[in-house]
Amino acid sequence: MDMADLGAQLAEVVGAAHALTGAAISADYAHDESLSFPAQAPACLVRPADAEQVAAVLKLAAAAGTPVTARGSGSGMCGAATPVPEGIVLSFERMNSIVDVDPVNFVAVVQPGVTLSELDEALAGHGLTYPVYPGELSATVGGTVATNAGGMRAVRYGVTRANVLGLQLALPDGELIRTGGPIAKCSTGYDLTQLVIGSEGTLALVTEATLKLHPRLPHQQTVLAPFTDLDEVIRAVPRILAAGLAPHILEYIDALTMAAITHTTNLTLGVPDQVRDTAQAYLVVALENRDADRLAEDVNAVAEMLAGDLGAMDAYVLDGPAAHKLIEAREKAFWTAKAAGAQEIIDVVVPRGAMPEFFATVRKLAQDTGSGAVGCGHAGDGNVHLAIFQADEQVRHELLHGIFAAGVAAGGAISGEHGIGREKKSHFQALENPAKLALMRRLKLAFDPDGVLNPGVLFD
Ligand SMILES: Cc1cc2nc3c(=O)[nH]c(=O)nc-3n(C[C@H](O)[C@H](O)[C@H](O)COP(=O)(O)OP(=O)(O)OC[C@H]3O[C@@H](n4cnc5c(N)ncnc54)[C@H](O)[C@@H]3O)c2cc1C
């Protein structure tokens, strides 16, 4: 079937205003935020209004053998939402309702196109929170489920995987199913919810999500500690966690990245010049509590530990606005790196204890190839974010391969939260266990025998 015929059938399902082809499609739908995977315009864009329309679109696409790439906000970082040229982009932007907030079961039921900032705003009035806060709050619930997004608060609340109780899914053959639900536990067959989380739109499309909520604690404070050595920052992390202080943010920022993000956001943190000039890295520890006095006690304990036994040069308790700006600047580190000319952003995860050795390998690989590799990351999760500066594509590929291989050898994984997408596929296939890859391919075939959903992501 040619695209004109398919386009006409799709228009019957979603309405002519929401089935666009060719030049009528905005260039925004041709890419996500990957720095290295090129934009590719799709043949068709559809914007369904409900789950039934999503299922009907998939049925038509399967019959025509036309690829479908789901799209949330396009803030993904590895080309997973970049369509194939002959394919359909299925955008969830019209499916953006919060269906229910249930303060008894601590559950929200939402459509996939709801953004995290919209959800956060709606939950604030209930005194509740959905604790998945990646750096980009324009990300949608559907996109964060499909990438298993993490973010700064995962150290306390876990990543998306730990906060999704159930899904409604549109399968590639046009069936709709529900997995899990507003229930605290479920030992009833294979866990399809968890299988689809992180599958990057390759197994099924999320048409509704049931999310686990948490109380919204009213008091927060942030401590900033400069260190003369990045390894000491990393060694401080388990000591803070072992003290039972349960920070909700525990981030490291290397000195170059701190200089760049404070400069681009005009942020002054009250760190004296002589400290700033010798600091090699910073630890950011944010704590929250229902009670202001208890919080103050914990914050003092953290500051004393940091400036005492843990070897920080000092520990600064930031006032509200400065703390807020620092967290915001850290979230925007991606844009700062992009503006500075980084060719790639990666997010290898390793066991926390292996971070110093991993950093040493990265430094050596960067030096040997004449590249830059700097960044910040989720220290509490062993999730290292690196901005890579190396213009030569072949050298960059080899450098990335070396870094990913070192992460895997340390017992970690190529990506902790951004995913594999189209961008890191060759490294994923080269470094993963072949038997595991073969099983993943069989799972893909079981869900999507015609290979309609997001071909080229994870596998060719
Ligand atoms: C400045 C910045 C900071 C970031 N910080 C973080 C961070 O701290 N932690 C983190 O984890 N990520 C971070 N990200 C990456 C990004 O925000 C996440 O990957 C997010 O989950 C993507 O959501 P999205 O709605 O933009 O999805 P998209 O980019 O549109 O899509 C991502 C994937 O999900 C699939 N998809 C979308 N909707 C559905 C659906 N309904 N059903 C099935 N599949 C679907 C797409 O096909 C694609 O494979 C950051 C990005 C930026 C730009």
CA 305–ligand 1 middle distance (angstroms): 36
Smallest CA-to-CA distance from 224 within 289, 152, 286 is with 286
Each residue's pLDDT expressed in tens, for the chain with a length of 460 residues:
678 889 999 999 999 999 999 999 999 999 999 999 999 999 999 999 999 999 999 999 999 999 999 999 999 999 999 999 999 999 999 999 999 999 999 999 999 999 999 999 999 999 999 999 999 999 999 999 999 999 999 999 999 999 999 999 999 999 999 999 999 999 999 999 999 999 999 999 999 999 999 999 999 999 999 999 999 999 999 999 999 999 999 999 999 999 999 999 999 888 999 999 999 999 999 999 999 999 999 999 999 999 999 999 999 999 889 999 999 999 999 999 999 999 999 999 999 999 999 999 999 999 999 999 999 999 999 999 999 999 999 999 999 999 999 999 999 999 999 999 999 999 999 999 999 999 999 999 999 999 999 999 999 8
Across 116-218, the runs of DSSP E, i.e. the strands, are 128-129, 164-170, 176-180, 205-212, 214-215
Q: From residue 49, how far is each of 53, 102, 245, 335 by CA, in Å?
A: 7, 24, 45, 32
CA 159–ligand 1 middle distance (angstroms): 13
Mutation pick for ligand 1 pocket among 40, 111, 136, 284 (CB with most ligand atoms within 8 Å): 136
Place of tokens 């864009």: 45
User: Is the shortest distance between the CB of 232 and ligand 1 below 6 Å?
Assistant: no
Question: What pLDDT shows up at residue 1?
Answer: 67
CA 95 to CA 81: how far, in whole Å? 17
Mutation pick for ligand 1 pocket among 77, 138, 253, 425 (CB with most ligand atoms within 8 Å): 77
CA 117–ligand 1 middle distance (angstroms): 14
User: Is the shortest distance between the CB of 19 and ligand 1 below 6 Å?
Assistant: no
Determine the atom of ligand 1 nearest the C-alpha atom of 201. 44
Question: What pLDDT shows up at residue 314?
Answer: 96
- As to burial, measured by CB atoms within 10 angstroms (0-12 exposed, 13-18 middle, 19+ buried), residue 11 is middle
Smallest CA-to-CA distance from 365 within 339, 340, 384 is with 384
User: Is the shortest distance between the CB of 112 and ligand 1 below 6 Å?
Assistant: yes
Question: What pLDDT shows up at residue 35?
Answer: 96
Q: What is the pTM of this model?
A: 0.97
CA 242–ligand 1 middle distance (angstroms): 32
CA 371 to CA 323: how far, in whole Å? 32
Contacts from 260-263 at CB under 8 Å and sequence distance 24+?
Answer: 260/333, 260/336, 260/337, 260/340, 261/329, 261/330, 261/332, 261/333, 261/336, 261/376, 262/329
Question: What pLDDT shows up at residue 2?
Answer: 79
User: Is the shortest distance between the CB of 74 and ligand 1 below 6 Å?
Assistant: yes
User: Is the shortest distance between the CB of 349 and ligand 1 below 6 Å?
Assistant: no
Place of tokens 């990300």: 139
Do strands 68-71 and 88-91 pair parallel, antiparallel, or not at all (unpaired)?
A: parallel
Place of tokens 């679109």: 57
Smallest CA-to-CA distance from 119 within 101, 134, 93, 136 is with 101
